[in-house]
Structure 1
Amino acid sequence: MEYSRRKSLWSQSNFLKLWTARTISLFGSAITTLALPLTAISILHATPFQMGLLLALGQVPQLLFGFVVGAWVDRVRRRPLLLIADLGRTVLLALIPLLSFLHFLGIEALYVLNFFIGVLSVIFTIASTSFLPSLVEREDLVEANTALQVSQSAAQIAGPSLAGIFIQLVTAPMAIIGDSISFFLSALFIWRMGGKEGGDVSLASRQNLWEQIRVGLDAVVKNPILRALAMANGVANIFWGAQLSLLLVYMTEVLKINSLWIGIIYACGNAGFLIGTLLAKRVLQWWGLGWSLCAVPLLSISGALLVPVAHGSFLEVALALAFAQFLTVCPLIIYHIHEVSLRQSITPDALQGRVNATTQVVSWATTPLGALLGGWLGEWIGIRSTLFLIVGGLLLAQLWLWFSPVRTLRTLPQEEE
């Protein structure tokens, strides 16, 4: 039975095309993740403030347009949105090497291009997450999300190295051509997908956009499972954002860890990303859905606790932090796959875009808030003390799941009407 389910997923041509498209574009994006800031630094000699502004402009569309995009995704067919997002990013990314070649590239142009690339990325992320449940059976959602996460894991692990080689060969702005091509190839695979989407988009298109956004918010707030997931993620991301803002400073300034070991520590996190992805389906079989969502994050929290308690010789501390990074990331990926699959499973197709947008905006909004909070607390009470407080906050976030219907779930429930 297990074999037949696995075979049925990979024999579905539409899912295979979506997975191929995502895999190609993820590896392409690994180039831009490195090449875009290097273009700003090495070619345009950007200041630290300009670098911060450049990166912020790539993220701010998530907060500005998340709710609107979610409602729009439910008003129209999702596959054309994926095509528009991919082809749009193909053009915008191609402009960077073109402007550089013509000596017209300035930091202001990078600001504008990165902002609109961010807008298109928000559209693609919400539309693709909402599109997946119409491509595969409910029982295959965990396996489908796992496959997509495997691609992301591989891109995160191998992508930077490949990007570094590519940049070394052709310079940073010219390397971005590779990402532009990857989005064009992604669009080709999505264009070749067949079949019809579910959901009554004709009804949604007749409704007021702001009323649709309110309906999406209500769907999350009034559903005890969706509400618990959104609140747990939102609160947890405050504290994960705080830890993220302090971790590098803690390692370099407090523990005096050198850049070589910092690279090794983060590599262990990437390994945890891949292993967690591969273990997700098996953990679901061992523990059931509810326990995997409630208990698995406790392993990540124990990894966060290892960071401030690590002590001993330089080697002992470095190895402890490497293990902590692995222990933090691996369970978080397992949780993420199950959480997304549960959300997709119980959300009606007509609400997929708005529900996904609502939960993602909550996560996007609280992470930078946590980063600011972490920096402020780090200066006020010290970095190590703040890292201990973060562990307590992460434990509190889990209470939303423990005291909700999520804990009692064994398998993915049916879609709610």
Structure 2
Amino acid sequence: MTRTPLLRDTDFRRLFAATALGQLGDRIVFLALPLVAITALRADEFQVGLLTTMTTVGTLLVGLPAGAWVDRMRKRSVMIGTDLARALVLLTLPLAWWADLLTIWWLYTVALVHGVLTVFFDVAYVSYLPHLVGRGNLLEGNSRLSAIRSVTSIGGPGLAGPMVGWIGAPATVLASSVGMALSGVLAFGIREREQIQQSPGRRSQLGREIKEGLRFVLRHSGLRGIMLGDAIFNLSLVMYQAMLLVFLEREIGLGSFGIGLVLSGMGCGALVGALVATKVAGWIGQGPVIWLAPLVTCPPTAVMAVARPGWSVYMAAVGLAGLSLGGVVRVVAQSSFQQTLAPDRLLGRVSATARFVSWGGIPLGGLLGGTLGSVYGAAATLVIGTVGMTLSAVPTFLSPLRAMRTVLRQ
């Protein structure tokens, strides 16, 4: 593929627009679901943590077979189907609210099904990009898609906060449903279709295909370091996030608009990270940036734990913006590293295996966050989460990535 700017490519523009709408819906639901629990159902700290667990446990339930299944199908079709299915699942929540049927268990069920569908969508999405843009354009493609995701991270909470205050958290979920449905419609317009690689006896090979993906990932020391670092980071981040909304709403006294403003600030950091990710990776090196990003940007998030009502909470939000900036820079470098190394036939399985190992602790993070919040309080849990996120730099620092400036296919 030539090195022409990707936004001149019609299919990439359609993927770009679909990403914008889908991520806008996702960012709205990210704020709205916990607020449904906190404000509408008056859930306690443990129930909020359990909701986070239900949202993310899909990785453990279907994480490994998802990669093998996705490798058997056209990724574009998986993306369209899961987008439309997620839209329908989310639609049940406001309908249940209006029918006076909504309970915490309904909320858990929506979160679980939505999370399982998201596993399939994310595996297909990551695996489809190398086919659509070519491996030589992966850094640019990941950076541009991260940029639009970051914009929606700003606009999503900024839009969701006032909507929650105006029409309530359950009704706000309707906007997420619409966004994901439109994302599926736009993805349907992408003309590029990858070939499915068939093999004899394919239906009986699921276990062997899963093992093949596992072997590829676990035998590569750089991928092992990334996955272990991600596992520590994601577990700690979810602990932090599970109590962040509780802390802001109950201890700081922020309403939905103020919470949306804080989360929009995180989106601003993510946008800056997406805009500079390629340059930073070129300047520092694609390997070193993966471990330097959390080491530099995670510690300031502890400031939120000592914030008080007023200006100090917004000063603390600057640390959250820095966390998002570093997170996007790291993810862009990691995604490009993973997509460059994996052969075409293993893209889905490598993506799913990395996600399974890296995200496998996230459900535990939700439970830990809820439990620690119940025992020690939300503020203490924020500090514990900060320590864990900072320590996530250790595995990648101890791997060959410490000095690997560029990635070459093996």
Cα 1:207–1:377 shift into 2, 3 Å: same
**Matched-pair contact (CA < 8 Å) for 1:269–1:329:** yes
Confirm or deny that 1:59 pairs with 2:67: no
Distance between the aligned counterparts of 2:225 and 2:364, measured in 1? 20
Partner residue of 2:222? 225
> Where in structure 2 are there 5+ consecutive unaligned residues?
none
**Alignment map for 1:351-390 (pairs within 5 Å):** 351-370=346-365, 372=367
1:290 corresponds, among 279, 282, 287, to 287
Sequence identity percentage: 32
**Matched-pair contact (CA < 8 Å) for 1:74–1:204:** no
**Matched-pair contact (CA < 8 Å) for 1:74–1:201:** no
**Matched-pair contact (CA < 8 Å) for 1:76–1:205:** no
Cα 1:249–1:180 shift into 2, 3 Å: closer
Query: What amino acid is the match of 2:343?
Result: P
Q: Count matched residues.
A: 405
Distance between the aligned counterparts of 1:304 and 1:329, measured in 2? 10
Query: What amino acid is the match of 1:223?
Result: H
Distance between the aligned counterparts of 1:34 and 1:371, measured in 2? 15
Partner residue of 2:234? 237
State the superposition RMSD in angstroms. 3.8
Cα deviation for residue 79 of structure 1 reads: 1.4
Worse overlay, 127-136 or 116-125: 116-125
Distance between the aligned counterparts of 1:55 and 1:387, measured in 2? 15
Partner residue of 2:123? 126
Partner residue of 1:78? 75
Distance between the aligned counterparts of 2:144 and 2:57, measured in 1? 28
Distance between the aligned counterparts of 1:124 and 1:391, measured in 2? 29
CA deviations on 1:348-400 (whole Å, 9 max, x unpaired) are 12111111112212232223434555677788899888877766655554232
Partner residue of 1:8? 5
Cα 1:151–1:203 shift into 2, 3 Å: farther
Partner residue of 1:276? 273
Cα 1:205–1:79 shift into 2, 3 Å: farther
Cα 1:393–1:203 shift into 2, 3 Å: farther
1:403 corresponds, among 394, 398, 407, to 398
Distance between the aligned counterparts of 2:161 and 2:311, measured in 1? 30
1:18 corresponds, among 8, 15, 32, to 15
TM-score, with structure 1 as normaliser: 0.81
Distance between the aligned counterparts of 1:167 and 1:319, measured in 2? 20
Distance between the aligned counterparts of 1:338 and 1:17, measured in 2? 23
Worse overlay, 10-19 or 180-189: 180-189
**Secondary structure class of the residue paired with 2:11:** helix
Cα deviation for residue 165 of structure 1 reads: 4.6
Cα 1:118–1:368 shift into 2, 3 Å: closer
Distance between the aligned counterparts of 1:389 and 1:40, measured in 2? 23
Distance between the aligned counterparts of 1:190 and 1:373, measured in 2? 37
Query: What amino acid is the match of 1:116?
Result: V
Cα deviation for residue 8 of structure 1 reads: 3.0
Cα deviation for residue 148 of structure 1 reads: 1.5
Partner residue of 1:27? 24
Confirm or deny that 1:342 pairs with 2:337: yes
**Secondary structure class of the residue paired with 1:350:** helix
> Where in structure 1 are there 5+ consecutive unaligned residues?
none
Distance between the aligned counterparts of 1:222 and 1:340, measured in 2? 18
Query: What amino acid is the match of 1:226?
Result: L
Query: What amino acid is the match of 1:336?
Result: V
Cα deviation for residue 73 of structure 1 reads: 0.9
Cα 1:87–1:314 shift into 2, 3 Å: closer
TM-score, with structure 2 as normaliser: 0.82
